[in-house]
C-alpha cells in the first residue's frame, strides 16, 4: 500500500532537513529532534512557522559617560520587525537589511504580545 503524503507533513516543512535515507527520516530544526517525512504537522509546528512580530532595542556602539562616569550609548532605536521565528539569527538577518550593524548592536528583542524578553 502506497503511503499518502500531504502538504501538511514534515516533508514540506521549512524546518525539515531530509537525511535522504530509505526510511524517510530527517531532522526537525524547530524542535531539535529526528522525525519522519510522513509525520503530520502539529499545532506546535504551525506556531513555529507563522510570522511573528518582535520589538528590537538597538543601541549605538558609540558611548559617552553619564554623570556618574559610566559609559552609556549615545543613541537607541526601538524597531518593530516581522520574522518567521523569533531567534537571534533571524532578527539579526532582518535588522542587517535595515541598519548597518557596524554602528549599532542589538540590546534585546521580545514579542510585544508576550512582553517577555527572548
User: What residue spans define the domains of the chain?
Assistant: 10-47, 51-117
Q: What is the pLDDT of residues 16-74, one digit of tens each?
A: 899 998 999 999 887 888 999 988 888 777 776 678 889 999 999 999 999 999 999 99
3-state secondary structure 30-94: CCCEEEECCCECCHHHHHHHCCEEEEEEEEECCEEECCCCCEEECCEEEEEEEECCCCHHHHHHH
CATH class belonging to 51-117: alpha beta
Closest alpha carbon to 83 in 60, 41, 112: 112
Structure-block grid coordinates of residue 59: 543601541
Amino acid at each position: 500500500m502506497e503511503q499518502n503524503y500531504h502538504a501538511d507533513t514534515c516533508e514540506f516543512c521549512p524546518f525539515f532537513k531530509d537525511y535522504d535515507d530509505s526510511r524517510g527520516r530527517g531532522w526537525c530544526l524547530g524542535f531539535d529532534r529526528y522525525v519522519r517525512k510522513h509525520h503530520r504537522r502539529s499545532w506546535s509546528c504551525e506556531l513555529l512557522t507563522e510570522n511573528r512580530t518582535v520589538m528590537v532595542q538597538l543601541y549605538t556602539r558609540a558611548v559617552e559617560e553619564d554623570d556618574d562616569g559610566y559609559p552609556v550609548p549615545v543613541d537607541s532605536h526601538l524597531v518593530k520587525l516581522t520574522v518567521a521565528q523569533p531567534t537571534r539569527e533571524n532578527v539579526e538577518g532582518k535588522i542587517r537589511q535595515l541598519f548597518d550593524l557596524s554602528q549599532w548592536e542589538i540590546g534585546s528583542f521580545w514579542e510585544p504580545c508576550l512582553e517577555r524578553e527572548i
